[in-house]
Homo-oligomer: A and B are copies of this chain.
Amino acid sequence: MKPPDNRSPRPSRRGFLASAGGLAALAGTGAAAHAAPGATASPTEPFWGAHQGGIVTPAQAHSYFLAFDLTAAKRDDVVALLRAWTAAAARMTEGQTAAPLGDKLDAPAPDSGEALLLPASRLTLTFGFGPGLFVKDGKDRYGLAAQRPEALVDLPRFNGDQLIPARTGGDLFVQACADDPQVAFHAVRQLLRLVYGAGEVRWVQAGFLSDPSNKSTPRNLMGFKDGTQRPDKLDQVVWTGAEAPEWMRGGTYLVARRIRIALEHWDRMEVGFQEEVVGRHKYSGAPLGKEKETDALDLDAADKDGNPLIPESAHVRLATAASNGGAQILRRGYAFNDGVSFTAERWPPWRQGMEYDAGLLFLAYQRDPRTGFIKIFEKMSKLDMMNQFVTHTGSGIFACPGGLAKGEFLGQRLLETA
Protein backbone atom coordinates (compact mmCIF):
# COMPACT_ATOMS: atom_id res chain seq x y z
CA MET A 1 0.00 0.00 0.00
CA LYS A 2 1.29 3.40 -0.88
CA PRO A 3 2.39 5.65 1.94
CA PRO A 4 1.05 9.21 1.86
CA ASP A 5 4.33 10.64 0.59
CA ASN A 6 4.38 8.52 -2.53
CA ARG A 7 1.06 9.36 -3.97
CA SER A 8 -0.84 9.90 -7.17
CA PRO A 9 -0.77 13.17 -9.15
CA ARG A 10 -2.10 16.28 -7.43
CA PRO A 11 -5.72 17.14 -8.15
CA SER A 12 -6.16 19.22 -11.27
CA ARG A 13 -7.05 22.90 -11.09
CA ARG A 14 -10.48 21.97 -12.30
CA GLY A 15 -10.81 19.52 -9.42
CA PHE A 16 -9.63 22.21 -7.05
CA LEU A 17 -12.23 24.63 -8.36
CA ALA A 18 -15.02 22.12 -8.11
CA SER A 19 -13.99 21.38 -4.57
CA ALA A 20 -13.63 25.03 -3.63
CA GLY A 21 -17.00 25.71 -5.22
CA GLY A 22 -18.63 23.04 -3.12
CA LEU A 23 -16.84 24.43 -0.14
CA ALA A 24 -18.00 27.98 -0.73
CA ALA A 25 -21.59 26.80 -0.97
CA LEU A 26 -21.23 25.17 2.40
CA ALA A 27 -19.18 27.87 4.00
CA GLY A 28 -21.46 30.85 3.53
CA THR A 29 -19.76 33.84 5.09
CA GLY A 30 -16.90 31.71 6.29
CA ALA A 31 -18.74 29.99 9.13
CA ALA A 32 -19.82 26.66 7.69
CA ALA A 33 -23.03 25.80 9.46
CA HIS A 34 -24.01 22.15 9.57
CA ALA A 35 -27.55 23.16 8.69
CA ALA A 36 -28.41 23.09 5.02
CA PRO A 37 -29.21 26.48 3.49
CA GLY A 38 -32.92 27.09 3.81
CA ALA A 39 -33.36 24.38 6.43
CA THR A 40 -35.54 25.29 9.38
CA ALA A 41 -33.60 26.69 12.30
CA SER A 42 -31.86 23.81 14.01
CA PRO A 43 -32.48 23.41 17.74
CA THR A 44 -29.47 24.57 19.71
CA GLU A 45 -28.60 24.70 23.41
CA PRO A 46 -26.75 27.75 24.76
CA PHE A 47 -22.98 27.43 25.24
CA TRP A 48 -22.44 30.61 27.28
CA GLY A 49 -24.23 31.18 30.59
CA ALA A 50 -24.19 30.92 34.37
CA HIS A 51 -23.86 27.13 34.27
CA GLN A 52 -22.41 24.66 31.80
CA GLY A 53 -24.76 22.91 29.40
CA GLY A 54 -25.43 19.19 29.48
CA ILE A 55 -26.09 19.02 33.23
CA VAL A 56 -29.66 20.20 33.78
CA THR A 57 -30.32 20.38 30.02
CA PRO A 58 -33.19 18.02 29.14
CA ALA A 59 -31.47 14.79 28.13
CA GLN A 60 -30.47 14.37 24.51
CA ALA A 61 -30.71 10.95 22.89
CA HIS A 62 -26.97 10.27 22.51
CA SER A 63 -23.77 10.87 24.37
CA TYR A 64 -20.02 10.43 23.96
CA PHE A 65 -17.87 10.70 27.07
CA LEU A 66 -14.08 11.13 26.96
CA ALA A 67 -11.60 11.21 29.85
CA PHE A 68 -7.95 11.87 29.17
CA ASP A 69 -4.70 12.52 30.97
CA LEU A 70 -2.68 15.65 30.40
CA THR A 71 0.92 15.22 29.32
CA ALA A 72 1.50 18.94 28.71
CA ALA A 73 4.61 20.13 30.56
CA LYS A 74 3.53 23.68 31.42
CA ARG A 75 0.45 25.52 32.55
CA ASP A 76 0.63 27.64 29.39
CA ASP A 77 0.14 24.51 27.31
CA VAL A 78 -3.01 23.73 29.27
CA VAL A 79 -4.22 27.30 28.77
CA ALA A 80 -3.61 27.05 25.05
CA LEU A 81 -5.52 23.78 24.87
CA LEU A 82 -8.50 25.11 26.80
CA ARG A 83 -8.59 28.30 24.74
CA ALA A 84 -8.71 26.22 21.58
CA TRP A 85 -11.34 23.94 23.08
CA THR A 86 -13.54 26.85 24.05
CA ALA A 87 -13.46 28.35 20.58
CA ALA A 88 -14.22 25.02 18.90
CA ALA A 89 -16.90 24.06 21.42
CA ALA A 90 -18.75 27.37 21.07
CA ARG A 91 -18.82 26.98 17.29
CA MET A 92 -19.92 23.36 17.30
CA THR A 93 -22.81 23.88 19.73
CA GLU A 94 -24.12 26.40 17.17
CA GLY A 95 -23.98 23.76 14.46
CA GLN A 96 -20.77 25.03 12.89
CA THR A 97 -17.55 23.24 12.06
CA ALA A 98 -14.88 23.27 14.80
CA ALA A 99 -13.06 25.98 12.79
CA PRO A 100 -13.74 27.59 9.41
CA LEU A 101 -12.88 24.98 6.77
CA GLY A 102 -10.81 27.31 4.64
CA ASP A 103 -9.98 26.29 1.08
CA LYS A 104 -6.61 24.58 1.36
CA LEU A 105 -6.26 21.24 -0.33
CA ASP A 106 -2.64 20.83 0.74
CA ALA A 107 -3.36 20.80 4.48
CA PRO A 108 -5.49 18.66 6.78
CA ALA A 109 -8.98 20.10 7.26
CA PRO A 110 -9.58 21.67 10.69
CA ASP A 111 -12.81 19.66 10.91
CA SER A 112 -13.23 16.05 9.88
CA GLY A 113 -16.48 16.89 8.10
CA GLU A 114 -18.88 14.11 9.05
CA ALA A 115 -21.34 16.56 10.63
CA LEU A 116 -21.55 18.86 7.60
CA LEU A 117 -25.21 19.59 6.78
CA LEU A 118 -26.38 17.93 9.98
CA PRO A 119 -28.38 20.09 12.41
CA ALA A 120 -26.80 21.12 15.72
CA SER A 121 -29.02 18.46 17.30
CA ARG A 122 -29.07 20.26 20.69
CA LEU A 123 -25.36 19.54 21.12
CA THR A 124 -23.95 20.35 24.57
CA LEU A 125 -20.34 19.96 25.68
CA THR A 126 -19.67 19.56 29.39
CA PHE A 127 -16.18 19.79 30.87
CA GLY A 128 -14.52 19.04 34.18
CA PHE A 129 -11.16 18.65 35.87
CA GLY A 130 -10.00 15.50 37.62
CA PRO A 131 -7.66 15.38 40.62
CA GLY A 132 -4.69 14.91 38.27
CA LEU A 133 -4.93 18.47 36.98
CA PHE A 134 -4.04 19.69 40.46
CA VAL A 135 -1.62 17.05 41.69
CA LYS A 136 -0.33 14.08 39.73
CA ASP A 137 1.89 11.40 41.25
CA GLY A 138 2.51 13.82 44.12
CA LYS A 139 3.69 16.54 41.74
CA ASP A 140 2.17 20.02 41.38
CA ARG A 141 2.81 20.11 37.62
CA TYR A 142 0.91 23.30 36.85
CA GLY A 143 1.12 25.19 40.16
CA LEU A 144 -2.56 24.50 40.80
CA ALA A 145 -2.35 22.27 43.89
CA ALA A 146 -3.57 25.01 46.21
CA GLN A 147 -6.66 25.47 44.08
CA ARG A 148 -7.86 21.90 44.38
CA PRO A 149 -11.32 22.07 45.96
CA GLU A 150 -11.78 20.17 49.18
CA ALA A 151 -14.84 18.56 47.66
CA LEU A 152 -12.77 17.05 44.80
CA VAL A 153 -11.74 14.08 46.90
CA ASP A 154 -10.27 10.87 45.63
CA LEU A 155 -13.15 8.41 45.53
CA PRO A 156 -12.92 5.70 48.19
CA ARG A 157 -13.00 2.07 47.21
CA PHE A 158 -16.61 0.96 47.44
CA ASN A 159 -17.81 -2.51 48.33
CA GLY A 160 -17.94 -4.62 45.20
CA ASP A 161 -15.88 -2.28 43.02
CA GLN A 162 -14.35 -4.05 40.04
CA LEU A 163 -12.82 -0.99 38.44
CA ILE A 164 -10.78 -1.47 35.29
CA PRO A 165 -7.85 1.00 35.23
CA ALA A 166 -8.39 1.60 31.50
CA ARG A 167 -11.94 2.82 32.29
CA THR A 168 -11.17 4.82 35.40
CA GLY A 169 -9.91 8.31 36.25
CA GLY A 170 -8.72 11.08 33.98
CA ASP A 171 -7.28 14.59 34.40
CA LEU A 172 -9.97 16.14 32.21
CA PHE A 173 -13.27 14.96 30.81
CA VAL A 174 -15.60 16.20 28.14
CA GLN A 175 -19.03 14.80 27.42
CA ALA A 176 -20.93 15.56 24.25
CA CYS A 177 -24.69 15.07 24.32
CA ALA A 178 -26.76 15.46 21.15
CA ASP A 179 -29.84 14.04 19.50
CA ASP A 180 -27.68 12.57 16.72
CA PRO A 181 -24.89 10.10 17.60
CA GLN A 182 -22.74 11.32 14.73
CA VAL A 183 -22.94 14.91 15.98
CA ALA A 184 -21.95 13.87 19.52
CA PHE A 185 -18.96 11.81 18.40
CA HIS A 186 -17.94 14.42 15.86
CA ALA A 187 -17.68 17.08 18.56
CA VAL A 188 -15.44 15.03 20.84
CA ARG A 189 -13.33 13.93 17.90
CA GLN A 190 -12.56 17.54 16.95
CA LEU A 191 -11.66 18.40 20.55
CA LEU A 192 -9.42 15.36 20.83
CA ARG A 193 -7.55 16.41 17.72
CA LEU A 194 -6.67 19.62 19.57
CA VAL A 195 -5.23 17.59 22.46
CA TYR A 196 -2.65 15.91 20.22
CA GLY A 197 0.72 16.13 21.99
CA ALA A 198 -0.78 17.60 25.17
CA GLY A 199 -2.60 14.55 26.49
CA GLU A 200 -3.50 10.90 26.09
CA VAL A 201 -6.92 9.27 25.95
CA ARG A 202 -7.75 7.34 29.09
CA TRP A 203 -11.29 6.09 28.46
CA VAL A 204 -14.36 6.84 26.42
CA GLN A 205 -17.95 5.69 26.54
CA ALA A 206 -20.69 6.09 23.97
CA GLY A 207 -24.26 6.06 25.31
CA PHE A 208 -27.88 6.37 24.29
CA LEU A 209 -31.39 6.83 25.59
CA SER A 210 -34.55 5.73 23.91
CA ASP A 211 -36.31 8.67 22.32
CA PRO A 212 -36.31 11.31 25.09
CA SER A 213 -39.09 13.25 23.39
CA ASN A 214 -41.40 10.41 24.45
CA LYS A 215 -43.41 11.89 27.29
CA SER A 216 -43.31 8.98 29.73
CA THR A 217 -40.39 8.23 32.07
CA PRO A 218 -37.88 6.21 30.02
CA ARG A 219 -37.20 2.59 30.89
CA ASN A 220 -33.64 1.44 31.44
CA LEU A 221 -32.17 -1.82 30.15
CA MET A 222 -33.57 -3.60 33.21
CA GLY A 223 -37.03 -2.80 31.85
CA PHE A 224 -37.98 -0.50 34.74
CA LYS A 225 -38.82 3.19 34.59
CA ASP A 226 -35.73 5.14 35.58
CA GLY A 227 -35.67 8.77 36.66
CA THR A 228 -39.07 9.13 38.33
CA GLN A 229 -37.52 10.94 41.29
CA ARG A 230 -35.55 14.05 40.44
CA PRO A 231 -34.43 16.78 42.85
CA ASP A 232 -36.44 19.96 42.43
CA LYS A 233 -34.14 22.35 44.31
CA LEU A 234 -31.24 22.34 41.88
CA ASP A 235 -29.49 25.27 43.52
CA GLN A 236 -29.19 23.31 46.71
CA VAL A 237 -28.42 19.92 45.21
CA VAL A 238 -26.35 20.61 42.11
CA TRP A 239 -24.68 24.02 41.94
CA THR A 240 -21.82 25.12 44.14
CA GLY A 241 -22.05 28.37 46.08
CA ALA A 242 -19.89 30.41 48.44
CA GLU A 243 -18.40 27.26 49.98
CA ALA A 244 -16.48 26.57 46.76
CA PRO A 245 -13.26 28.21 45.55
CA GLU A 246 -14.12 31.31 43.53
CA TRP A 247 -13.30 29.61 40.21
CA MET A 248 -15.74 26.78 40.99
CA ARG A 249 -18.81 28.85 41.86
CA GLY A 250 -21.85 27.99 39.83
CA GLY A 251 -20.20 24.69 39.04
CA THR A 252 -20.82 21.15 40.16
CA TYR A 253 -19.04 17.85 40.75
CA LEU A 254 -19.48 14.82 38.57
CA VAL A 255 -19.10 11.26 39.74
CA ALA A 256 -19.20 8.97 36.70
CA ARG A 257 -19.64 5.22 37.10
CA ARG A 258 -19.65 2.70 34.28
CA ILE A 259 -22.04 0.02 35.52
CA ARG A 260 -22.24 -3.27 33.69
CA ILE A 261 -25.59 -5.03 34.14
CA ALA A 262 -25.88 -8.82 33.96
CA LEU A 263 -28.85 -8.67 31.63
CA GLU A 264 -28.87 -12.42 30.99
CA HIS A 265 -29.16 -13.05 34.73
CA TRP A 266 -31.75 -10.33 35.28
CA ASP A 267 -33.94 -11.63 32.47
CA ARG A 268 -34.21 -15.01 34.17
CA MET A 269 -35.54 -13.58 37.44
CA GLU A 270 -39.23 -13.76 38.37
CA VAL A 271 -41.08 -10.50 37.83
CA GLY A 272 -42.07 -10.38 41.52
CA PHE A 273 -38.46 -10.71 42.59
CA GLN A 274 -37.34 -8.01 40.15
CA GLU A 275 -39.95 -5.73 41.73
CA GLU A 276 -38.62 -6.43 45.22
CA VAL A 277 -35.09 -5.65 44.08
CA VAL A 278 -36.15 -2.33 42.62
CA GLY A 279 -38.88 -1.52 45.13
CA ARG A 280 -41.32 -0.55 42.39
CA HIS A 281 -43.84 -2.33 40.22
CA LYS A 282 -42.33 -3.13 36.87
CA TYR A 283 -45.10 -2.06 34.53
CA SER A 284 -46.72 0.87 36.31
CA GLY A 285 -43.57 2.21 37.96
CA ALA A 286 -45.54 2.70 41.20
CA PRO A 287 -43.76 2.10 44.51
CA LEU A 288 -44.58 -1.39 45.82
CA GLY A 289 -48.04 -1.27 47.36
CA LYS A 290 -49.03 1.90 45.45
CA GLU A 291 -50.87 2.34 42.22
CA LYS A 292 -49.34 5.25 40.31
CA GLU A 293 -45.77 6.02 39.28
CA THR A 294 -46.06 9.44 40.90
CA ASP A 295 -47.31 8.10 44.25
CA ALA A 296 -44.86 8.98 47.02
CA LEU A 297 -42.63 6.28 48.51
CA ASP A 298 -44.03 5.12 51.85
CA LEU A 299 -41.03 3.53 53.53
CA ASP A 300 -43.09 2.61 56.62
CA ALA A 301 -45.87 0.73 54.82
CA ALA A 302 -46.12 -2.88 56.00
CA ASP A 303 -48.23 -5.91 55.22
CA LYS A 304 -50.51 -7.53 57.80
CA ASP A 305 -47.58 -9.50 59.20
CA GLY A 306 -45.62 -6.31 59.77
CA ASN A 307 -43.14 -6.92 56.92
CA PRO A 308 -42.22 -3.81 54.97
CA LEU A 309 -43.89 -3.56 51.55
CA ILE A 310 -40.69 -2.07 50.20
CA PRO A 311 -37.96 -4.49 51.35
CA GLU A 312 -35.15 -3.18 53.55
CA SER A 313 -32.62 -3.79 50.79
CA ALA A 314 -34.74 -2.54 47.86
CA HIS A 315 -32.94 -0.15 45.53
CA VAL A 316 -35.41 2.75 45.84
CA ARG A 317 -35.44 2.60 49.65
CA LEU A 318 -31.66 2.84 49.87
CA ALA A 319 -31.39 5.53 47.20
CA THR A 320 -34.03 7.93 48.46
CA ALA A 321 -33.12 11.11 50.32
CA ALA A 322 -35.11 10.05 53.38
CA SER A 323 -32.78 7.07 53.85
CA ASN A 324 -29.66 9.20 53.49
CA GLY A 325 -30.19 12.15 55.82
CA GLY A 326 -31.56 14.19 52.93
CA ALA A 327 -28.60 13.54 50.59
CA GLN A 328 -29.51 13.92 46.93
CA ILE A 329 -27.82 13.88 43.55
CA LEU A 330 -28.91 14.75 40.03
CA ARG A 331 -28.78 11.57 37.93
CA ARG A 332 -28.09 11.88 34.23
CA GLY A 333 -27.34 8.42 32.95
CA TYR A 334 -26.98 6.92 29.50
CA ALA A 335 -27.33 3.29 28.56
CA PHE A 336 -24.25 1.78 26.95
CA ASN A 337 -23.97 -1.21 24.69
CA ASP A 338 -20.43 -2.36 24.07
CA GLY A 339 -21.22 -5.68 22.45
CA VAL A 340 -20.30 -8.88 24.23
CA SER A 341 -17.27 -10.06 26.12
CA PHE A 342 -16.25 -13.36 27.63
CA THR A 343 -17.86 -13.69 31.04
CA ALA A 344 -17.95 -16.37 33.70
CA GLU A 345 -21.37 -16.12 35.36
CA ARG A 346 -21.37 -15.75 39.12
CA TRP A 347 -24.74 -17.43 39.55
CA PRO A 348 -25.95 -20.99 39.04
CA PRO A 349 -25.34 -22.83 36.76
CA TRP A 350 -22.14 -20.74 36.49
CA ARG A 351 -22.26 -20.83 32.72
CA GLN A 352 -19.50 -19.03 30.84
CA GLY A 353 -19.47 -17.53 27.39
CA MET A 354 -19.99 -14.31 25.48
CA GLU A 355 -22.37 -12.06 27.42
CA TYR A 356 -23.53 -8.48 26.99
CA ASP A 357 -21.11 -5.78 28.00
CA ALA A 358 -24.04 -3.40 28.39
CA GLY A 359 -25.38 -1.28 31.17
CA LEU A 360 -25.48 2.26 32.41
CA LEU A 361 -23.03 5.13 32.35
CA PHE A 362 -24.30 6.60 35.60
CA LEU A 363 -23.56 10.30 35.93
CA ALA A 364 -24.22 11.84 39.34
CA TYR A 365 -23.98 15.63 39.59
CA GLN A 366 -23.90 17.27 43.01
CA ARG A 367 -22.69 20.24 44.98
CA ASP A 368 -20.38 18.10 47.12
CA PRO A 369 -19.62 14.43 46.41
CA ARG A 370 -18.82 13.80 50.09
CA THR A 371 -22.41 14.54 51.05
CA GLY A 372 -23.82 13.32 47.73
CA PHE A 373 -22.79 10.22 45.81
CA ILE A 374 -20.19 9.01 48.30
CA LYS A 375 -22.56 9.23 51.26
CA ILE A 376 -25.38 7.50 49.42
CA PHE A 377 -23.30 4.83 47.72
CA GLU A 378 -21.24 3.84 50.77
CA LYS A 379 -24.42 2.25 52.10
CA MET A 380 -25.93 1.12 48.82
CA SER A 381 -22.76 -0.64 47.75
CA LYS A 382 -23.13 -2.88 50.80
CA LEU A 383 -26.89 -3.37 51.05
CA ASP A 384 -28.60 -2.86 47.70
CA MET A 385 -30.18 -6.10 46.44
CA MET A 386 -29.49 -4.85 42.93
CA ASN A 387 -25.76 -5.34 43.45
CA GLN A 388 -26.03 -8.99 42.49
CA PHE A 389 -26.90 -7.85 38.95
CA VAL A 390 -24.60 -4.87 38.50
CA THR A 391 -20.83 -4.38 38.52
CA HIS A 392 -19.09 -1.02 38.61
CA THR A 393 -16.30 -1.37 36.06
CA GLY A 394 -15.27 2.26 35.52
CA SER A 395 -15.24 5.44 37.55
CA GLY A 396 -14.19 9.07 37.65
CA ILE A 397 -14.61 12.23 39.71
CA PHE A 398 -14.37 15.70 38.23
CA ALA A 399 -14.85 19.34 39.21
CA CYS A 400 -16.99 21.07 36.58
CA PRO A 401 -16.53 24.84 36.76
CA GLY A 402 -19.43 27.24 36.32
CA GLY A 403 -20.58 28.42 32.93
CA LEU A 404 -18.61 30.78 30.74
CA ALA A 405 -19.25 34.45 30.07
CA LYS A 406 -18.91 35.17 26.36
CA GLY A 407 -15.22 35.62 25.57
CA GLU A 408 -14.05 33.71 28.61
CA PHE A 409 -12.23 30.42 28.12
CA LEU A 410 -12.88 27.20 29.94
CA GLY A 411 -11.08 27.15 33.30
CA GLN A 412 -9.85 30.71 32.88
CA ARG A 413 -10.72 31.72 36.44
CA LEU A 414 -8.68 28.78 37.70
CA LEU A 415 -5.75 29.03 35.36
CA GLU A 416 -5.24 32.81 35.37
CA THR A 417 -5.73 33.60 39.03
CA ALA A 418 -4.08 30.70 40.78
Task: Please list the residues of chain A having a beta carbon within 8 angstroms of any beta carbon in chain B.
Answer: 1-4, 7-12, 14-16, 18-19, 21-23, 25-26, 36, 64, 101, 104-109, 112-119, 121, 160, 166, 180-183, 185, 189, 193, 200-206, 208-211, 214-216, 219-224, 263, 266-276, 281-286, 288-291, 303, 305, 307, 309, 311-314, 335, 337-340, 347, 353-356, 358, 385, 387-388
Contact = CB atoms under 8 A, between A and B. Distances in A.
Given A118-B211, A339-B203, A272 B2 contact: no
Contact of A284 (B19, B222, B263, B312): B19
Contacts of A358: 185
Contacts of A215: 36
A189 B340 CA distance: 12
Contacts of A290: 18
Contacts of A2: 313, 385, 388
A330 B116 CA distance: 25
A282 B113 contact: yes
B312 A8 contact: yes
A12 B112 contact: no
Per assembly, the copies of the chain total: 2
Contacts of A208: 181-182
A4 B136 CA distance: 44
B11 A272 contact: yes
Given A11-B276, A18-B289, A354-B202, A104 B271 contact: yes
A61 B106 CA distance: 34
Contacts of A269: 4, 108
A210 B118 contact: yes
A309 B339 contact: no
A224 B115 CA distance: 10
Contacts of A282: 19, 22, 109, 113
A286 B340 contact: no
A227 to B, nearest CB: 13
Contacts of A23: 283-284
B286 A18 contact: yes
A284 B17 CA distance: 11
Given A2-B388, A22-B283, A116 B223 contact: yes
Contact of A286 (B22, B209, B283): B22
A4 B23 CA distance: 62
Contacts of A16: 272
26 contacts: A1-B385, A4-B269, A4-B347, A8-B313, A9-B305, A9-B311, A11-B272, A12-B288, A14-B303, A18-B281, A18-B291, A19-B281, A19-B284, A101-B283, A104-B270, A108-B267, A108-B268, A109-B274, A113-B224, A116-B219, A116-B283, A118-B211, A182-B208, A182-B210, A185-B221, A200-B354
